[in-house]
Chains A and B, each alone.
Chain A
């Protein structure tokens, strides 16, 4: 049986037994490369579920849809390892109770689909801990190294050019499972912390503010990067920040649901290289 078949059956069982009220998975998209989020509430619809290596987006953000989890019923969700990490971060930040989430795990290293064992976040701890040791395999690695070699002026110009494209559609924010604020700082106007205009200053403000808000929280699922309609390589910023946080605080976001938020906790042996 293919993994897709296996998981359709699993979804059917979960729904017909009443164990979950909804399965969030992937359905066919408007072409072969595209898969779209699908919300299934009855066993009959489970055959619409699609699972292959094109199922890339991190669906965990939908769990925070207003009212979805407030009835304390359970929801199953198709997740890659980054998605499970996202669940841990959201739980650590008290946004959801992982007991309400049934994970249907999968991954596709090198394009080959594989099922992941386990249905609760705890069962993924070993897998996630192992991920921490692996240099993430991202297309941005090479580009990141190039940027690292740049002088600060060159680097500034690089980002200036990238950010000049930003149209402030906030697709990065909306696609991000970590951007769950009821009112984003850019939408607050008393005071107006961040300029709403998408001129150079406003674009820098927005992208830098977001980078800092995601430091130590980003699980590098790539949702923002893929969502950006003008293709700003946002993953590079998040990769860099994740690296900094890992090197400075040995913190890898989303290893457990009780992990302390790195920028909101203090340890006596925290490195203080930036304080004179």
Chain B
């Protein structure tokens, strides 16, 4: 017997969580594009999506976040801070790749200096992941040693029932247990079997790729230029990526009053690393693509013991020129044989 949440009880759960002061968030369809967003009732959720177009990271690291408001008078500068919205949140219907992405970025936002904009949201969010029973040709979690039912970064894992009438509930963390205690009476004990998770074929050998990337000789390989010839240098892959975390800091306003913001930025952009002098350490698109791959599969794991990729496949899925991590790592797998 396992705990089961039947789909017809979900609306009551949402109501219960909301009346307990939690913001309920989940995958929703907006005009021609899907994303994770706050909902008032379960009917707004679209739990049939393979994956929302936009990743979960923006709930923790928004594309533009006000940090400080400054106010300057003749004799002083007054700075007030914007703090991230506080209050508990439950994200219902995350995918394993998205949830894993958050766990991958935790050490980065925490090493030495703790970024409260990230951690306050992390500490107040319960992540309820639903194991995937379908995938598309861009999904690649298994190539990154993750799976459609990985528990990394999740507080609760739900396994869809075979009859599609609900989910088996696996409580993974205290925070998850706490949130589900609030709906305990809406859950039932049952023996309904869970549907098999989708089989996602492995597309490349991540270990072999890592070895190839670590070899200093390959840094200057012609490969980088060839693989990135068609890259147009937009930021869509990085902005949709659940683990890409680069940002810019910008002041908006006048000399006396305004707001300092943290905005997403992308290693794909030429200006990202450009010095004021005009010197640019990564002056070509191929150097920038190399940086992205090296950072995700060589540098980041060297520092934080995990690839900076959870295999969601959004980079390829949305690329205007059909590039992406999958193709590059497939080619590297071939080179490293």
Contacts and interface: CB of A to CB of B under 8 A. Distances in A.
B234 A227 contact: yes
Given A187-B271, A196-B250, A231-B32, A167 B239 contact: yes
A120 to B, nearest CB: 25
Interface of A: 29-31, 34-39, 57, 61-62, 161-162, 165, 167-171, 173-175, 187, 195-199, 202, 223, 226-227, 229-231, 233
Most chain B CB atoms below 10 A, which of A161, A171, A202: A171
A226 B235 CA distance: 15
Given A30-B137, A197-B261, A175 B322 contact: no
A253 B138 CA distance: 37
Interface in B1-52: 30-33
A161 B271 contact: no
Contacts of B229: 37, 39
Interface in B140-171: none
A193 B235 CA distance: 21
Given A167-B63, A169-B235, A197-B263, A229 B240 contact: yes
A201 to B, nearest CB: 9
A18 B10 CA distance: 67
6 contacts: A30-B316, A37-B230, A162-B31, A165-B31, A171-B320, A223-B320
A165 B33 contact: yes
Interface of B: 30-33, 53-54, 63-64, 137-138, 229-230, 232-236, 238-240, 248, 250, 252, 261, 263-264, 266, 269, 271, 316, 318, 320-324, 326-327
A35 B322 contact: yes
Nearest to B320: A227
B239 A169 contact: yes
Contacts of A37: 229-230, 321
A57 B320 CA distance: 9
Contacts of A169: 234-236, 238-240, 266
Contacts of A187: 271
B33 A231 contact: yes
Contacts of A231: 31-33, 53
A169 B58 CA distance: 14
Given A175-B234, A196-B250, A229-B236, A31 B137 contact: yes
B230 A36 contact: yes
A57 B239 contact: no
Nearest to A38: B230
A183 B79 CA distance: 33
A141 to B, nearest CB: 17
Contacts of B321: 36-37, 57, 175
A227 B326 CA distance: 19
B230 A198 contact: no
Contacts of A171: 232, 234-236, 320
Contacts of B54: 167, 230
A167 B53 CA distance: 12
Contacts of A223: 320
A33 to B, nearest CB: 10
Contacts of B234: 169-171, 173-175, 227
A144 B196 CA distance: 45
Top 7 nearest A-B pairs (CB, nearest first) are: A227-B320, A171-B234, A174-B234, A231-B32, A36-B322, A169-B235, A197-B64
A229 B318 contact: yes
Nearest to B32: A231
A174 to B, nearest CB: 4
A5 to B, nearest CB: 23
A169 B246 CA distance: 13
A233 B32 contact: yes
Contacts of A29: 322
Given A168-B264, A170-B235, A197-B252, 11 more contacts: A29-B322, A36-B321, A168-B63, A171-B232, A171-B235, A171-B320, A174-B234, A175-B321, A198-B263, A226-B320, A229-B53
Contacts of A199: 64
B74 to A, nearest CB: 24
B314 to A, nearest CB: 8
A198 B64 contact: yes
B131 to A, nearest CB: 24
A30 B239 contact: no
A202 B327 contact: no
